[in-house]
């Protein structure tokens, strides 16, 4: 009732406003279509909330509607919706028969892109449980920390990750964690095989009573957003995220190509979005520039997903005569630079690029539904009526929003970069991070525009131009993004200070020409009486940090600058970057070929910035 009333009021308003505004904005009809699609999705979500209808329920309805339609295409295999249902029921029974799982429990999954990832998640929801998606690049203490964040008592891992599992196995067994490897046999004490058990259990549907306690407020999954910080994704939020394909114009005849990691929200919601649309997913284990277009042709792909890096990689490949020989009509993703956007369209054809902005744990979504190169969205008249976000003035030196004499935040001027914030309400909630109340609170801003209000702090700087288009500018605070991964500076600093020669570390991200995001750099001080042991530090970060989180540059300082409240200063360090022409402190570069941090010379600097040295 609420949604229909809102639609009627909106349409009445439009009738009186349409003629006037159409003469002033050529974007109005696109905005109208986008807003009406959002309203329809909200209406659907309200209906789902009342009936506790989950993505799993949508999948099971699709099984009934088109059981023989291909759901997952993987290598040379095709799995129909009906086959996926049977396989996920088998996976669910194996986990259920362990006797260790109870309703509402969480199971940690550690595997790359493969159909089993999907079967396991569907199976867990079938028995009323949730999954925690572990980044398979992490190791040792970081892996244990991530595992325990969600209080999981079961781990399921791919066989190729056996070494990573064995490294932490004593700690897991000590805490009575049940560990499975996705193999038919396993000789490791304390580890069970999984696939052979699947072949011995029934593929029949499971009783719905097993998940009768689930609501749309129940956890569906936990996704790690930066390092070891796990965002709780409820079934309701998963619905909102899964509508992205609908908003982008995906239809029931499309084939969606997924090559980004399923442990990330971008990859995972491509699968759940496909379920919402009832379409086919062509799944690849890992992104490959050489096989990307071959896969698109092989599977008759019509929609691709991207992040900025993957689009740049594709544009950097040698030109071929068949660059435009494909059926791709739509690309959905985020982080594409304007120059790469233009080059991609010029080279591979007039593919409709739907650039969006959103955070896994966030409570807002922006989408560029106009095709405006470089923008992530537009704050039009209708959008303003339905949205509750703002771009506010931000002090980069103090790393906090600017406030007026009354203590309230100030909206940024047109063209001025400011902090994007979004109001936290019942309709736009922020669920926080699992097991980390302090980090959850840090993402909340209070008394933003009036006393008692509360906003989600995205940690990102955006700007709005004179035509109300919104552009991403930079990331601030304690995280940066590199190689498609979020990196938590405090967690990297904690690892670095465990090295024998390092006393303190201030980690931050620096821009490198020709690359999206920022790569890691650490300003460090040395322990008394110690020299910088470059080889030891290299081995240390190689053992304890995934490749994307290892600082590429190190700056040796006598002391680390702090604010009046003893917070480490980063702004000036970020601005100075890693240029030896400007910095007198000793600088070092992570050389993977030499497996060492080598002195950063002017020649190395020039080779890095020109692209001669790949990082």
pLDDT in tens, 156-199: 999 999 999 999 999 999 999 999 999 999 999 999 999 999 99
Output the domain CATH number for residue 127: 3.40.50.980
Average pLDDT for the chain? 93
User: Based on the domain organization, do 490 and 465 belong to the same domain?
Assistant: no
User: Based on the domain organization, do 519 and 471 belong to the same domain?
Assistant: no
**Strands (DSSP E) found in 172-309:** 178-182, 191-193, 219-226, 229-234, 255-258, 280-283, 303-307
Output the domain CATH number for residue 606: 3.30.300.30
Using alpha carbons only, give the angle 451, 455, 460 rounded to the nearest 5 degrees: 135
Examine the pLDDT at 524 and tell me if it is beyond 60. Answer: yes
Residue 115 lies in a domain: yes
Residue 56 lies in a domain: no
pLDDT in tens, 407-443: 999 999 999 999 999 999 998 999 999 988 999 999 9
Give the integer Cα–Cα distance in Å for 102 and 89: 17
User: Based on the domain organization, do 459 and 494 belong to the same domain?
Assistant: no
Of the two residues 209 and 383, the one the predictor is more confident about is 209
Average pLDDT over residues 317-340: 96
Instruction: Quickly state the pLDDT bin for 19 (edges 50, 70, 90).
Output: very low
Instruction: Quickly state the pLDDT bin for 3 (edges 50, 70, 90).
Output: low
Query: What is the dihedral sign for C-alpha 91, 250, 388, 265?
Result: positive
Contacts of 349 (CB under 8 A, 6+ apart): 323, 324, 326, 328
User: Based on the domain organization, do 548 and 464 belong to the same domain?
Assistant: no
Picking from 174, 176, 133, the residue whose alpha carbon sits closest to that of residue 156 is: 133
Q: With both helix axes pointing from N to C terminus, report the angle between 489-496 and 534-544 in degrees, rounded to the nearest 10.
A: 130
pLDDT of residue 14: 60
User: Based on the domain organization, do 438 and 506 belong to the same domain?
Assistant: no
Residue 544 lies in a domain: yes
Q: 199-208, 224-233, 358-367, 445-454: which has the minimum mean pLDDT? A: 224-233
User: What's the number of domains the chain is made of?
Assistant: 3
User: Based on the domain organization, do 456 and 420 belong to the same domain?
Assistant: yes
pLDDT of residue 279: 98
3-state secondary structure of 72: strand
Average pLDDT over residues 468-477: 91
Question: Cα separations (Å) of 27 from 30, 32, 512?
Answer: 6, 9, 35
Give the integer Cα–Cα distance in Å for 418 and 378: 15
Residue 286 lies in a domain: no
187, two tokens: 């000789």
pLDDT of residue 13: 59
pLDDT in tens, 275-285: 999 999 999 99
pLDDT of residue 312: 93
User: Based on the domain organization, do 469 and 514 belong to the same domain?
Assistant: no
Residue 107 lies in a domain: yes
Query: Which of 214, 232, 267 is where one domain is finished?
Result: 214
Picking from 463, 460, 305, the residue whose alpha carbon sits closest to that of residue 377 is: 463
Examine the pLDDT at 42 and tell me if it is beyond 60. Answer: yes
The 8-class DSSP code of residue 289 comes to T
pLDDT of residue 364: 94
Average pLDDT over residues 515-529: 95
pTM score, whole prediction: 0.91
3-state secondary structure of 305: strand
Give the integer Cα–Cα distance in Å for 5 and 103: 38
Query: Which of 432, 455, 475 is where one domain is finished?
Result: 475
Of the two residues 564 and 536, the one the predictor is more confident about is 536
Q: 45-49, 446-450, 543-547: which has the minimum mean pLDDT? A: 45-49
Residue 134 lies in a domain: yes
Output the domain CATH number for residue 439: 2.30.38.10
Instruction: Quickly state the pLDDT bin for 398 (edges 50, 70, 90).
Output: confident
Average pLDDT over residues 549-563: 94
Residue pair 99/74 in contact (Cβ under 8 Å)? The answer is no
pLDDT in tens, 120-133: 999 999 999 999 99
pLDDT in tens, 235-268: 999 999 999 999 999 999 999 999 999 999 999 9
User: Based on the domain organization, do 499 and 543 belong to the same domain?
Assistant: yes
Residue pair 255/282 in contact (Cβ under 8 Å)? The answer is yes
Residue 219 lies in a domain: no
Residue pair 389/422 in contact (Cβ under 8 Å)? The answer is yes
Contacts of 104 (CB under 8 A, 6+ apart): 128, 129, 130, 213, 218
User: Based on the domain organization, do 449 and 491 belong to the same domain?
Assistant: no
User: Based on the domain organization, do 471 and 486 belong to the same domain?
Assistant: no
Question: Cα separations (Å) of 549 from 37, 226, 424, 490?
Answer: 39, 10, 31, 11
Of the two residues 266 and 562, the one the predictor is more confident about is 266
Instruction: Residue 413: give the domain boundaries.
Output: 388-475
Residue pair 121/131 in contact (Cβ under 8 Å)? The answer is yes
Residue pair 63/82 in contact (Cβ under 8 Å)? The answer is yes
273, two tokens: 């979005």
458, two tokens: 């995205």
Residue pair 71/281 in contact (Cβ under 8 Å)? The answer is yes
Query: Which of 435, 454, 475 is where one domain is finished?
Result: 475
Average pLDDT over residues 533-550: 95
User: Based on the domain organization, do 157 and 184 belong to the same domain?
Assistant: yes
Query: What is the dihedral sign for C-alpha 259, 611, 522, 463?
Result: negative
Residue pair 601/576 in contact (Cβ under 8 Å)? The answer is no
Residue 318 lies in a domain: no
User: Based on the domain organization, do 470 and 554 belong to the same domain?
Assistant: no
Q: With b meaning 16 or more CB within 10 Å and e meaning fewer, what string describes 403-418? A: eeeeeebeebeeeebb
73 bridge partner residues: 78, 282
pLDDT of residue 427: 87
**% of the chain surpassing 70 pLDDT:** 95
pLDDT of residue 1: 44
């Amino acid at each position: 009732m609420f949604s229909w009333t809102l639609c009627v009021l909106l349409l009445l308003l439009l009738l009186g406003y349409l003629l006037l505004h159409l003469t002033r904005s050529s974007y109005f009809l696109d905005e109208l279509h986008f807003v009406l699609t959002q309203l329809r999705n909200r209406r659907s979500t309200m209906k789902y909330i009342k009936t506790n209808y989950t993505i799993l329920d949508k999948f099971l309805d699709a099984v009934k509607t088109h059981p023989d339609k291909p759901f997952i295409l993987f290598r040379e295999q095709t799995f129909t919706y009906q086959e996926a249902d049977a396989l996920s029921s088998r996976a669910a029974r194996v986990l259920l028969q362990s006797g260790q799982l109870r309703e509402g429990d969480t199971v940690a999954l550690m595997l790359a892109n493969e159909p089993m990832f999907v079967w396991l998640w569907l199976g867990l929801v079938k028995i009323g449980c949730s999954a925690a998606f572990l980044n398979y690049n992490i190791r040792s203490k970081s892996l244990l920390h991530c595992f325990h964040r969600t209080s999981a008592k079961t781990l399921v891992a791919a066989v190729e990750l056996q070494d990573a599992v064995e490294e932490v196995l004593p700690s897991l067994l000590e805490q009575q964690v049940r560990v499975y490897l996705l193999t038919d046999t396993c000789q490791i004490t304390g580890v069970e095989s999984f696939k052979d058990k699947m072949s011995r259990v029934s593929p029949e549907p499971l009783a719905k009573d097993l998940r009768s306690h689930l609501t749309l407020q129940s956890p569906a999954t936990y996704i790690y957003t930066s390092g070891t910080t796990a965002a709780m994704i409820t079934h309701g939020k998963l619905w909102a995220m899964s509508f992205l394909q609908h908003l982008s114009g995906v239809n029931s005849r499309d084939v969606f190509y997924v090559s980004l990691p399923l442990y990330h929200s971008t990859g995972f919601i491509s699968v759940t979005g496909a379920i919402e649309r009832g379409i086919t997913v062509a799944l690849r284990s890992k992104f490959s520039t050489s096989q990307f277009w071959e896969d698109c042709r092989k599977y008759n792909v019509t929609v691709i997903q991207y992040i900025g890096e993957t689009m740049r990689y594709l544009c950097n490949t040698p030109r071929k005569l068949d660059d435009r020989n494909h059926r791709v009509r739509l690309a959905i993703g985020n982080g594409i630079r304007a120059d790469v956007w233009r080059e991609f369209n010029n080279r591979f054809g007039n593919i409709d690029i739907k650039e969006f902005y959103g955070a896994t744990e966030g409570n807002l979504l922006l989408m560029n539904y106009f095709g405006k190169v470089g923008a992530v969205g537009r704050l039009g008249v209708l959008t303003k009526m339905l949205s509750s976000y703002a771009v506010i003035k931000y002090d980069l030196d103090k790393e906090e929003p600017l406030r007026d004499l009354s203590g309230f935040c100030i909206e940024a001027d047109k063209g001025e970069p400011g902090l994007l914030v979004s109001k936290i309400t019942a309709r736009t909630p922020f669920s926080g991070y699992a097991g980390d109340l302090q980090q959850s609170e840090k993402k909340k801003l209070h008394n933003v525009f009036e006393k008692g209000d509360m906003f989600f702090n995205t940690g990102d700087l955006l700007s709005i131009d004179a035509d109300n288009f919104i552009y991403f500018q930079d990331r601030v605070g304690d995280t940066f993004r590199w190689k498609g991964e979020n990196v938590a500076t405090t967690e990297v600093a904690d690892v670095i200070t465990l090295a024998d020669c390092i006393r303190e570390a201030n980690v931050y991200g620096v821009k490198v020409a020709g690359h999206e995001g920022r790569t890691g750099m650490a300003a460090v001080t040395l322990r008394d009486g110690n020299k910088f042991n470059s080889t030891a530090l290299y081995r240390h970060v190689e053992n304890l940090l995934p490749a994307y989180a290892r600082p590429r540059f190190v700056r040796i300082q006598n002391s680390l600058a702090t604010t009046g409240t003893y917070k480490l200063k980063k702004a000036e360090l970020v601005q100075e970057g890693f240029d030896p022409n400007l910095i007198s402190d000793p600088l070092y570069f992570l050389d993977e070929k030499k497996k060492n941090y080598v002195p950063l010379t002017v020649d190395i600097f020039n080779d890095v910035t020109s692209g001669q040295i790949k990082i």
